[in-house]
Homo-oligomer: A and B are copies of this chain.
């Protein structure tokens, strides 16, 4: 269900930039204003706003105007779907390596018996 609503193309696109990942790292610890997100980054506030807009357009971040501040929050659905996709791939090759291990063990046992 999750994968149907989350566009993984856009999620991975959003994460394909170091500055945006730094923002996501900060936001997974809790909501933050745009200026708080800007703090560790060596770039103009305008550039930070642009990155936040990309993150929001890609569905990774949600923003909300609270008084004069724009508060940013992580969209966990997108992050969860992307993580699940990565984990499923790892399970794929781990299963394959397990099967390879079984075959090698079988070969070793056969050789011992010869």
Interface residues of A (CB under 8 A from B): 8-13, 15-18, 21, 24-25, 28-30, 74, 76, 79-80, 82-83, 85-87, 89-90, 92-93, 96
A24 CA / B13 CA spacing, docked (Å):
16
Q: Nearest CB to that of A13 among chain B residues?
A: B16
Decide: A12 and B15 in contact? CB cutoff 8 A: yes
Please list the 9 inter-chain residue pairs (A to B) with the smallest Cβ-Cβ separation, ordered nearest first.
Answer: A28-B92, A12-B16, A83-B86, A13-B16, A12-B15, A28-B89, A28-B93, A12-B12, A9-B16
Known: A12-B13, A15-B12. A83 touches B87 (CB 8 A): yes
A86 and B82 contact, CB distance less than 8 A: yes
